[in-house]
């Protein structure tokens, strides 16, 4: 291919290595004479004969052109300007033309390899993003269960600094009549499930990684049957068993950390989990996690012979109460209606889609299926709970 000589500069910006240069190297210019290639700089000049000159590509991505000579092994000059390969003095020398072709071929191969590596990396990252949820689930299995339990116990201790734990033995015994059959029906025994009641008027319940399940007194007083409480507990236990807290941290940790953990290095992951305890307490689970907790919670209830439609009734009540709060917010300030009283609805939004899915599950059950009856006077349980509250809680008026 003919090259327009007018496009070839007289000198090419570059650098050199030579014992006479300060620290053995210097930047400068590379140019051609009739029989030699020359290096010019303010620190010194030298030249190499064109006869038996060696041309090589090197540096990052083969972007530099190096000139060497067997008779002068300590002298090397280089330039990043690839136009140097089109200099007329190189194209007039058969030996240098062959070397030029080899350098160009090496560069093309390097580009192909780099392009392949980059394409593979982009593809791997794309697949990691597309398959993020199943990959996160796989990586979460590598998190030691005892780490979850220790972290959950530590978070529970921190939370109790600002909460009042209700420790009445009779209340605990009454609550156990709901929790014990539920836990006995769950085959996954990795986590020591522990149930706690705290004095808090908000209608809320949540589970920490490792098995601590917290019920607010407001939720227990808002429920109408033991089956509703069991439905909420089954949902929360599913969050524990499915490791949603850890998976939530993983999902926010970034693709690099997920990939690193997938390859077996979980040190960075453990550090992220340990440093994100507050996130686990303030989390809002994804809709996928909520649907997953609904499904597994439903199965836990059936395994324990507990009527699962209590979960539906509680979700429906929270949905209706949330609607009422939103209506009142249009007329008064949030403080007037006690904004935050429905924390369960805000952190576990009972969308109509989820309620419809549970109702379909209920319709699919055999019509003659039998369920247990709780040996619990639920009204007495709620009254006992009220007497243990520091704040005087009046029994709500029942609608006729």
Q: For residues 64 and 20, state if they share a domain.
A: yes
Residue 399 lies in a domain: no
Q: What local confidence, expressed as pLDDT, does residue 166 receive?
A: 95
Q: For residues 213 and 278, state if they share a domain.
A: yes
Residue 396 lies in a domain: no
Kindly give, in sequence order, each residue whose CB lies less than 8 Å from that of residue 353, ignoring residues fewer than 6 positions away: none
Domain end point (choices 71, 100, 121): 121
Q: What local confidence, expressed as pLDDT, does residue 97 receive?
A: 84
CA gap 260, 25 in Å, rounded: 40
Q: What is the pTM of this model?
A: 0.62
Q: For residues 316 and 283, state if they share a domain.
A: yes
Q: For residues 96 and 235, state if they share a domain.
A: no
Q: For residues 144 and 278, state if they share a domain.
A: yes
- Residue 382 backbone phi and psi in degrees, to 5: -65, -40
Q: What local confidence, expressed as pLDDT, does residue 94 receive?
A: 82
Domain end point (choices 121, 142, 159): 121
Residues lower than pLDDT 50 in the chain = 1-2, 124-125, 128, 334-340, 392-394, 396-400
Residue 395 lies in a domain: no
Q: What local confidence, expressed as pLDDT, does residue 231 receive?
A: 96
Q: Give the chain's domain count.
A: 2
Domain end point (choices 65, 88, 121): 121
Residue 126 lies in a domain: no
Helix (H, G, I), strand (E, B) or coil at 323: helix
Measured between alpha carbons, how far is residue 212 from residues 153, 156, 226, 353 in Å? 7, 7, 20, 29
Residue 127 lies in a domain: no
Residue 57 lies in a domain: yes
Residue 240 lies in a domain: yes
Q: Work out the number of other CB atoms within 10 angstroms of the CB of residue 376.
A: 17
Q: What local confidence, expressed as pLDDT, does residue 123 receive?
A: 54
Q: For residues 196 and 307, state if they share a domain.
A: yes
Q: For residues 176 and 39, state if they share a domain.
A: no
Q: For residues 259 and 288, state if they share a domain.
A: yes
Residue 334 lies in a domain: yes
Q: For residues 168 and 27, state if they share a domain.
A: no
Domain containing 97 equals: 5-121
Kindly give, in sequence order, each residue whose CB lies less than 8 Å from that of residue 218, ignoring residues fewer than 6 positions away: 200, 201, 202, 203, 204, 341
| 41 within 8 A of 29, measured Cβ to Cβ | yes
CATH number for the domain spanning 20: value is 2.30.29
Q: For residues 109 and 251, state if they share a domain.
A: no
CA 376 remoteness from chain centre: 42
Q: For residues 145 and 63, state if they share a domain.
A: no
Q: What local confidence, expressed as pLDDT, does residue 287 receive?
A: 83
Q: For residues 101 and 236, state if they share a domain.
A: no
Q: What residue spans of the chain are helical by DSSP H?
A: 88-91, 94-130, 132-141, 145-160, 169-184, 217-222, 226-241, 244-251, 255-262, 267-274, 277-282, 287-303, 309-329, 343-347, 352-364, 378-387
Q: What local confidence, expressed as pLDDT, does residue 280 receive?
A: 53
């Amino acid at each position: 291919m003919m090259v327009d000589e007018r496009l070839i500069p007289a000198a090419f910006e570059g650098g050199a290595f030579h014992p006479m240069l300060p620290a053995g190297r210097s930047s400068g210019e590379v140019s051609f004479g009739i029989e030699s290639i020359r290096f010019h700089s303010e620190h010194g000049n030298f030249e190499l004969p064109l006869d038996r000159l060696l041309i090589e590509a090197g540096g990052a991505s083969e972007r530099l052109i190096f000139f060497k000579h067997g008779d002068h092994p300590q002298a090397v000059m280089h330039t990043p300007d690839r136009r140097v390969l089109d200099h007329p003095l190189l194209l007039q020398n058969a030996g240098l033309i062959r070397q030029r072709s080899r350098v160009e071929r090496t560069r093309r191969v390097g580009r192909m390899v780099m392009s392949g590596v980059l394409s593979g990396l982009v593809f791997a990252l794309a697949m990691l993003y597309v398959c993020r949820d199943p990959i996160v689930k796989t990586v979460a299995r590598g998190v030691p269960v005892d780490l979850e339990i220790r972290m959950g116990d530590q978070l529970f201790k921190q939370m109790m600094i600002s909460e009042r734990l209700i420790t009445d033995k009779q209340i605990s015994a009454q609550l156990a009549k709901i929790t014990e059959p539920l836990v006995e029906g769950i085959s996954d025994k990795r986590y020591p499930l522990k149930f706690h009641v705290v004095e808090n008027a908000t209608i809320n319940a949540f589970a920490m990684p490792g098995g601590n399940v917290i019920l607010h007194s407001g939720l227990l007083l808002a429920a109408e049957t033991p089956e509703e409480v069991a439905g909420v507990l089954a949902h929360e236990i599913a969050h524990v068993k499915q490791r949603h807290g850890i998976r939530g941290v993983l999902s926010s940790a970034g693709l690099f950390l997920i990939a690193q953990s997938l390859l077996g290095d979980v040190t960075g992951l453990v550090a992220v989990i340990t440093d994100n305890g507050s996130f686990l307490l303030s989390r809002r689970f994804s809709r996928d996690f909520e649907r997953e907790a609904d499904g597994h919670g439903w199965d836990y209830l059936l395994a324990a012979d507990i009527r699962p439609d209590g979960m539906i009734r509680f979700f429906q009540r929270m949905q209706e109460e949330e609607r009422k709060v939103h209506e009142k917010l249009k007329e008064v300030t949030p403080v007037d209606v006690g904004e935050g009283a429905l924390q369960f609805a805000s952190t576990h939004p009972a969308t109509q889609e989820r309620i419809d899915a549970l109702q379909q599950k209920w319709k699919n059950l055999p019509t003659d299926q039998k369920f247990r009856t709780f040996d619990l006077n639920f009204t007495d349980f709620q009254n006992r709970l009220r007497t243990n509250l520091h704040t005087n809680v009046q029994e709500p008026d029942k609608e006729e």
